[in-house]
């Protein structure tokens, strides 16, 4: 993980230099609409690289994407008089993505990811392209961006649409309206970009779609894992569980970083809990879904740490082919666009989140078992008159089954394309998309677990909750009352889900434990 975020000019403005952008920076620009400024030294790199490729072209050096075609057409010569038309046609021909369309926050994350990687100065594109990305972000111009169609060897079929908007083609969202890109440019006083040599390739040849969307996914996953720890802590109180698996000395004997982080979150959530004051003889050895939670959640945290480390390397470096080596006055064919390293991290993370999901399901099933809890079957308030939480077990486990399939690896499912020139890909956009789908389903499952835990605590009536768990419990009860009789469970689940998804649960817990 990078140690330092990019420099702040003000609360709403950040400087981009191509080397220090974090996941949090992406999230703040995408969702909080922070504006961006290109650092002076980064701008100079763009100017210098542009000068170098013109010099090389003048010397007759064949340059992929400049005076030669791209892909299978690498053997076609591009004349000086055809530069603008060729690059415009490159954008048009590569715009081949299909719906659904990205939300505005994802579009912003994608544009930011590409802008920061451009600032490495390895593309040789005209500097005004980088400025146009910054203008779009700062002015709230969001090109329509189809999410599907990329095989994950540069997201060319999708991010080409951003280039179309830059030259006044296609459509954008601006100010809540969907309008022609040409109208947006006119309103904001921008001229359509005139493309020169290598400009089209610089726009389309990037993994910005998967990288930008992936950054948002990672931000949400870290929040999800903190939420999972706090929900688990509430469930442990609900069963009056054994706290010996939470002893720090035990964990320091096998100090996996993620495990220790989850342990710290759980212990803070349980600070002041009655569990620390008495021993429940029925919980000498709790089921593994309770006993192993810090290890299970910790493994997901370790997978997250790897994926984040790899993705932040990607976000702060060039994924361009060819690569301009300005100092050496060389431009070299390469494969820096291949995103397999961090894509595999996301696939590992998807599998880890499935373990989080399944253990949550097992905890809620056990919470509904009177032989285990000593409470009523399915935590019903009146066994003679209501069913309680019987049927919601099906909801949770059906979502877990979906997560199981979403966690299947897909990065190796590729074809050899473009005349057998492109015989490797990673399906990175789909891998990231699946990760975000998994996050949504895990959030629902944790919400259902929280409903079970709160119901069990109410049925016991004599619980002393921890500082963090009480905050979560009270917030939940402010939206979802005790299940005193059968009612529409869909409504309760959705209310609990939104508390977790919108971050209100975690905000309430953190306010008490930090």
pLDDT tens track for 344-391: 999 999 999 999 999 999 999 999 999 999 999 999 999 888 899 999
User: In sequence order, which residues have a C-beta less than 8 Å from that of residue 59 and are 6 or more positions away?
Assistant: none
CATH number, span 214-321+336-513: 1.20.200.10
Instruction: Give the contacts of 172 (CB within 8 A, at least 6 positions apart).
Output: 141, 142, 143, 144, 165, 178, 179, 180, 181, 184
By mean pLDDT, which of 12-16, 300-304, 493-497 is the weakest?
12-16
Instruction: Answer with the residue of higher pLDDT: 58 or 295.
Output: 295
User: Would you state the pLDDT for residue 374?
Assistant: 93
Nearest 10 degrees: Cα torsion 181, 186, 188, 190? 90
Residue 334's pLDDT band (boundaries 50, 70, 90)?
A: confident
pLDDT at 9 over 60: no
Percent of the chain with pLDDT over 70: 93
Q: How far apart are the C-alpha atoms of 92 and 99, rounded to whole Å?
A: 17
Mean pLDDT estimate for the chain? 91
- What 3-state class would DSSP assign to 420? coil
- The confidence score (pLDDT) of residue 66 equals 66
Predicted TM-score (pTM) of this structure: 0.93
- What pLDDT digit, counting tens, does each position of 151-163 carry? 888 899 999 999 9
pLDDT of residue 330: 87
**CB-neighbour burial class of residue 4 (10 A; exposed 0-12, middle 13-18, buried 19+):** exposed
- According to DSSP, residue 389 is labeled S
Q: What does the pLDDT average to over 458-482? A: 96
**Token pair of 187 as six digits:** 């309103």
CATH 1.10.275.10, the chain: domain bounds = 8-206
356 burial via Cβ count (<10 Å: 0-12, 13-18, 19+): buried
Stretch 21-48: mean pLDDT, rounded?
Answer: 97
Separation between Cα atoms, residue 214 and residue 427, nearest integer Å? 13
Residue 173 banded pLDDT, cuts 50, 70, 90? very high
Cis bond leading into 103, ω under 30°?
no
Q: How far is Cα 460 from Cα 453, in angstroms, rounded to an integer?
A: 11
- Determine the CATH number of domain 8-206: 1.10.275.10
pLDDT tens across 316-326, in order?
999 988 889 98
Domain with CATH 1.20.200.10 in the chain: 214-321+336-513
């Amino acid at each position: 993980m990078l140690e330092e975020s990019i420099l702040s000019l003000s609360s709403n403005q950040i400087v981009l230099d191509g080397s220090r952008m974090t996941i949090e920076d992406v999230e703040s620009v995408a969702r909080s609409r922070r504006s961006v400024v290109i650092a002076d030294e980064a701008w100079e790199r763009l100017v210098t690289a542009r000068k170098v490729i013109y010099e090389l072209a003048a010397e007759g050096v064949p340059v992929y994407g400049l005076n030669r075609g791209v892909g299978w057409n690498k053997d076609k010569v591009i004349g000086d008089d055809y530069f603008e038309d060729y690059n415009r046609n490159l954008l048009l021909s590569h715009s081949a993505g299909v719906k659904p369309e990205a939300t505005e926050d994802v579009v912003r994350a994608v544009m930011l990811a590409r802008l920061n990687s451009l600032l490495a100065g390895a593309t040789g594109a005209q500097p005004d392209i980088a400025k146009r990305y910054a203008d779009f972000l700062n002015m709230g111009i969001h090109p329509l961006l189809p999410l599907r169609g990329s095989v994950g060897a540069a997201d060319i079929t999708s991010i080409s649409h951003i280039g179309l908007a830059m030259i006044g083609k296609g459509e954008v969202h601006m100010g809540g309206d969907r309008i022609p890109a040409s109208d947006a440019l006119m309103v904001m006083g921008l001229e359509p970009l005139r493309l020169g040599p290598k400009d089209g390739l610089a726009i389309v040849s990037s993994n910005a779609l998967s990288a930008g969307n992936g950054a948002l996914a990672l931000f949400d996953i870290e929040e999800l894992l903190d939420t999972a720890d706090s929900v688990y802590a509430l469930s442990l109180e609900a069963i009056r569980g054994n706290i010996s698996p939470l002893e720090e000395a035990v964990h320091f004997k096998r100090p996996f970083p993620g495990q220790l982080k989850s342990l710290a979150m759980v212990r803070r959530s349980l600070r002041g809990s009655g569990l620390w004051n008495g021993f429940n003889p029925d919980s000498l050895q709790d089921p593994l879904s309770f006993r192993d939670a810090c290890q299970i959640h910790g493994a997901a945290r370790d997978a997250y740490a790897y994926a984040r480390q790899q993705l932040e390397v990607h976000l702060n470096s060039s994924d361009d082919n060819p690569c301009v080596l300005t100092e050496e006055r060389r431009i070299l064919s390469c494969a820096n666009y291949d995103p397999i390293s961090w894509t595999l991290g996301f696939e590992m993370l998807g599998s880890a989140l499935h373990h989080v999901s399944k253990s949550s399901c097992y905890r809620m099933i056990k919470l509904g078992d009177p032989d285990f809890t000593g409470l009523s079957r399915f935590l019903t308030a009146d066994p003679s008159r209501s069913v309680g939480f019987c049927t919601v077990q099906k909801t949770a486990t059906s979502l877990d089954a979906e997560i199981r399939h979403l966690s299947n690896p897909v990065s190796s499912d590729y074809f050899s394309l473009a005349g057998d020139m492109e015989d490797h890909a990673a399906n990175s956009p789909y891998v990231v998309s699946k990760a975000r789908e998994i996050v949504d389903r895990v959030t629902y499952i944790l919400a259902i677990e929280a409903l079970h835990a709160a119901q069990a605590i109410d049925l016991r009536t004599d619980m002393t909750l921890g500082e963090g768990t009480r905050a979560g419990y009270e917030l939940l009860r402010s939206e979802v009352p005790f299940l005193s009789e059968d009612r529409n469970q869909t409504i309760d689940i959705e209310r609990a889900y939104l508390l977790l998804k919108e971050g209100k649960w975690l905000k309430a817990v953190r306010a008490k434990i930090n």
